[in-house]
């Protein structure tokens, strides 16, 4: 189910978890565009906050919300077979239930690190669905945890809420106990995004790569 917010309407749930500041070149680029005069439609994927909603609407834009990681974690989407093994994920029904936008097109998509926490069967279909609902020259900010390399310990990764700020910084806050399911190499990311017009990788000092994608 997709929610819509405009004007000054507020939503979101809080947590006592610590907020960790993080520089984000991708968010900085998105923010530059959002400071223009043209009203935009923004799709925020994942656990949002009232602060995010207020910031985006104060800039004159509309925001829509979806959280496919939380939605996909429900048992109804992966029935258990008689032998105890998980059944086939119902991808098409899931997309129609949780990522249908009633013909709306989006100028900005904040995809965050959603792909890393989705069931593998959902990753490519979700990205394809987002591609189909983005306007020409629409932009998407996506993040991907780096794969573990030989001889190095696995980097910690927590499902997070990304709090927007009026600068190129984000405040990152733990938002749940969903497991990290996948990590993608740069080549796999490029394959995942091959239908888009262009994408730019941004280097960072942590284990998360940012990609700014253009429809």
Q: What's the mean pLDDT when you consider all of the chain?
A: 87
- Mean pLDDT over 83-90 rounds to 76
Every domain of the chain and the residues it spans:
3-214
CA distance 169 to 72: 29
Token representation of residue 173: 């806050």
Query: Which secondary structure element, helix H or strand E, spans residue 45, and what is its range?
Result: strand 41-45
Above 60 in pLDDT, residue 74? yes
- Mean pLDDT over 43-62 rounds to 94
More confident of the two residues 209 and 155: 209
The pLDDT > 70 percentage for the chain reads: 86
Token representation of residue 206: 């942590």
Each residue's pLDDT tens digit, 129-175: 999 999 999 999 999 998 865 444 455 578 999 999 999 999 999 99
Are 131 and 160 contacting, i.e. CB atoms less than 8 angstroms apart?
no
Q: 12: how many CB neighbours lie within 10 A of its CB? A: 16
Is the CATH number 3.40.50 carried by domain 3-214? yes
What pLDDT does residue 206 have?
80
CA distance 90 to 87: 9
CA distance 131 to 195: 8
- Indicate the pTM of the whole model: 0.87
Above 50 in pLDDT, residue 100? yes
CA distance 204 to 207: 7
């Amino acid at each position: 189910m997709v929610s819509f917010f405009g004007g000054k309407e507020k939503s979101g749930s809080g947590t006592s978890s610590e907020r960790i500041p993080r520089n984000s070149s991708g968010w900085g680029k998105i923010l530059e565009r959002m400071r223009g005069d043209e009203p935009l439609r923004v799709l925020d994927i994942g656990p949002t906050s009232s602060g995010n909603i207020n910031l985006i609407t104060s800039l004159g834009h509309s925001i829509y919300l979806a959280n496919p990681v939380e939605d996909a974690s429900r048992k109804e989407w992966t029935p258990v077979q008689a032998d105890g093994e998980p059944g086939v994920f119902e991808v098409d029904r899931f997309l129609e239930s949780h990522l249908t936008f009633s013909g709306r097109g989006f100028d900005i998509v904040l995809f965050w690190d959603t792909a890393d926490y989705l069931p593998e069967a959902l990753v490519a279909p979700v990205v394809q669905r987002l591609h189909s609902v983005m306007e020409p020259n629409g932009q998407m900010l996506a993040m991907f945890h780096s794969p573990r390399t030989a001889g190095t310990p696995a980097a910690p990764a927590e499902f997070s809420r990304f709090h927007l700020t009026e600068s190129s910084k984000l405040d990152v806050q733990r938002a749940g106990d969903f497991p990290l399911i996948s990590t993608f190499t740069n080549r796999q990311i490029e394959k995942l995004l091959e239908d888009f017009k262009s994408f730019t990788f941004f280097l960072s000092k942590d284990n998360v790569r940012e990609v700014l994608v253009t429809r």
